[in-house]
C-alpha cells in the first residue's frame, strides 16, 4: 500500500511517515502543493494525505485539480480548522475524509485503514519462488497443491512476502500483526513461523523462512 503525504511542515510529514511505515505502508512525502499534484497524478498511490494550509497552492486546490484529472485516489485532508464549512469545502473539493489537527495517531491510522478498505484495492496475490499466496481466498499454492492458511498464518505469511528484501524482527511482526496493544509475546511469532514452515513444506514449496538469530526472520528461496 503506497501513500503520498503532501504536507509543508517537514517534521510533521516525517512523523506521519514514521507512523505509517511502522504499520507497513510504503510512504512518500512532498512538501508543497505543486509537487503534490504532480506526484498524485502519477496514479501510483493508494491514498493521498493532504494538508489544507500550505504556502502556494493549498490543499483544496490540489484536491480539485487531482479530481479534475479523473484521478480517484482517496484523499485524507488534514487541517487545523474544525469548522463545518471548512469540512464541507474540503469534501466538495474531492476529499474523502477530514481530520482535524491535532489528531491522535490511532485516529489517523484508523482513518487510513478505513479509506484503503473502502477502495477495496488490493493486489490479489503475492508470489515468490514456486509459491503463491492468494489474497482473496487465503490459499497458499504451489503447483498442483494448495493449503488453507488460518487468519493469523495468512497475516504473517503476507507480511513476510511483502517484505522479502528485509529481515523482519519478531518485534516488528508482533506489532504489525498482533498490534501494539496486544499482550502477545515473541513466542507467538515462533509458533506461527513453525506452522507456516510445516504448511510450506507440505505443499512442496521451495520457500524457507530463515531465522536470523537476534535479528528476525527472512524469506528465502531454496537454491539461491
Closer to a copy of itself by Cβ: residue 58 or 169: 169
Residue 12 interacts with which of a copy of itself, DNA, none, CB < 5 to 8 Å by class: a copy of itself
Contacts of 142 (CB under 8 A, 6+ apart): 130, 131, 132, 203, 204, 205
- Give the contact letters, 11-40, x = binds to a copy of itself (CB under 8 A), - = no: xx-xx--xx-xxxx----------------
Whole-number Cα distances in Å, 109 to 18, 30, 186? 12, 20, 24
Edge to edge, what strands does the sheet with 131-134 contain?
A: 125-128, 131-134, 139-142, 145-148
The C-alpha cell at 87 is: 469540512
Closer to DNA by Cβ: residue 12 or 26: 26
Q: Binding of DNA at residue 57 (CB under 7 A)?
A: no
Closest CA to 122 of 154, 150, 145: 154
* Residue 56 to residue 61: CA distance in whole angstroms: 10
Per CB under 8 A, the list member of 107, 145, 190, 201 interacting with a copy of itself is: 107
Residue 127 interacts with which of DNA, a copy of itself, none, CB < 5 to 8 Å by class: none
Total number of residues binding a copy of itself (CB under 8 A)?
Answer: 55
What phi and psi values does residue 17 have, to the nearest 5 degrees? Answer: -60, -45
- Report whether 5 contacts 17 (CB < 8 A): yes
Stretch that binds DNA, among 13-21, 85-93, 122-130, 208-216 (CB under 7 A): 208-216
Contacts with a copy of itself, residue ranges (CB under 8 A): 9, 11-12, 14-15, 18-19, 21-24, 83-84, 87-88, 91-92, 95-98, 101-102, 104, 106-107, 109-111, 113-115, 117-118, 136-138, 148, 150-151, 154, 165-167, 169, 171-172, 175, 180-181, 212-215, 218
Amino acid at each position: 500500500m503506497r501513500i503520498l503525504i503532501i504536507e509543508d511542515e517537514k517534521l510533521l510529514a516525517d512523523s506521519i511517515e514514521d507512523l505509517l511505515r511502522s504499520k507497513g505502508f510504503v510512504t512518500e512525502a512532498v512538501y508543497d502543493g505543486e509537487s503534490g499534484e504532480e506526484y498524485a497524478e502519477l496514479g501510483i498511490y493508494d491514498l493521498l494525505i493532504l494538508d489544507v494550509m500550505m504556502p502556494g497552492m493549498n490543499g483544496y486546490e490540489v484536491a480539485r485539480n487531482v479530481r479534475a484529472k479523473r484521478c480517484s485516489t482517496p484523499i485524507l485532508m488534514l487541517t487545523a480548522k474544525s469548522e463545518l464549512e471548512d469540512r464541507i469545502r474540503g469534501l466538495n473539493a474531492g476529499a474523502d475524509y477530514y481530520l482535524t489537527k491535532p489528531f491522535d495517531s490511532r485516529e489517523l491510522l484508523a482513518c487510513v485503514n478505513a479509506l484503503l478498505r473502502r477502495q477495496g484495492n488490493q493486489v490479489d496475490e503475492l508470489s515468490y519462488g514456486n509459491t503463491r499466496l492468494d489474497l482473496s481466498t487465503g490459499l497458499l499454492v504451489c503447483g498442483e497443491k494448495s493449503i488453507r492458511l488460518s487468519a493469523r498464518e495468512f497475516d504473517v505469511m503476507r507480511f513476510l512476502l511483502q517484505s522479502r528484501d528485509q529481515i523482519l524482527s519478531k518485534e516488528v511482526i508482533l506489532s504489525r500483526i498482533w498490534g501494539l496493544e496486544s499482550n502477545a509475546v515473541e513466542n507467538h511469532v515462533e509458533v506461527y513461523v513453525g506452522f507456516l514452515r510445516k504448511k510450506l513444506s507440505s505443499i512442496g514449496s521451495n520457500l524457507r523462512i530463515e531465522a536470523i538469530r537476534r535479528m528476525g526472520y527472512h524469506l528465502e528461496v531454496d537454491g539461491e
